[in-house]
Structure 1
Amino acid sequence: MTPEPDLREALLAAVPGLRAFAISLSGQVDKADDLVQDTLLRALSNLHRFERGTNLNAWLFTILRNLFHSEYRKRRREIEDPDGSYAGRLKVQPEQGSHLDFEDFRTALFQLPSDQREALLLVGASGFSYEEAASICHCAVGTIKSRVNRARIRLAALLNVDDVDDLGPDSMTRAALQG
């Protein structure tokens, strides 16, 4: 719809004031120009809502202000990430896989002889030194080292773990199986 010539002239006359207001709101000339353009498009598409005889500039400035605030609210939740590096850091391991891995680990752990399981849990999961674990179990340090080593080998076999890459993201499993 083409506006009447006098309304068209009034719209064009309002552009410098709209642009100045848009620059003061956005702080950037290119964004201000886009905002003025969007304002004029919105005004032209809603020209039937403008009441003749009222203040055209006030109506246009209101449209511009509302567009700016709508855009601001929308962009406030957005993060600029032109190269995708931020989005790349947001990935999360799926939870169901680690839950199933933990269940497999628990099942395998309880297949170990109790003395090996105890030594492995003290050293691998609880973080005690071999000396501290030996003191807790009332045995020699060499015995604890031997039990932990045999437990790790047996657990790796039960879980079909050939190397460190097979362990997955679970830190408890890694601690129990690594030396």
Structure 2
Amino acid sequence: MNRPMNPDDTTRQALIALIPRLRRFARVLTGSIADADDVVQAALEKAMVNLGQYQPGTRLDAWVFRIARNHWIDDRRRMHNRMGHDDIGEMLDLVGDDGVTVVEASAEARMVRAAVDSLPPEQRDVVALVMLEELSYREAADLLGLPIGTVMSRLSRAKAALAKRIAGEGAMQ
């Protein structure tokens, strides 16, 4: 069994600073807050155990995101089921906010979340990496093991689908 290496303080601080972004990425992958937390925990554990495989000078975030994504894919294959998504409203701290603004923002967030959830998984991955995590096309392509043109194509199709879905939902309200 591999034992975790003791990372230097810089790497430890970088991993700690990465947790909110990793959690957000895992939330997009899983669609569930609880599952996202499990993926984050497993990814950080695997990163610590395999820290010797990390190439200093490369992007730590891309390396850990790949670990998280691979863990999620492996876990999905093992489970052979698809979980429903939590309501994004569970993620909002509503205390002290204007009720009307909160309700409108929550409804809009649910509409966007539903639109993202309706995307095929391969498009959802690209949206999460490029639009949410602001990775470059090249970084996303490397992380996903895809040609850059495929990433650009998937993102283009995802944006068109999101725009169509959101415009259609907005017209219904």
The one of the two structures with greater contact order (alpha-carbon pairs below 8 A, sep at least 6) is 2
TM-score relative to the length of structure 1? 0.42
TM-score relative to the length of structure 2? 0.44
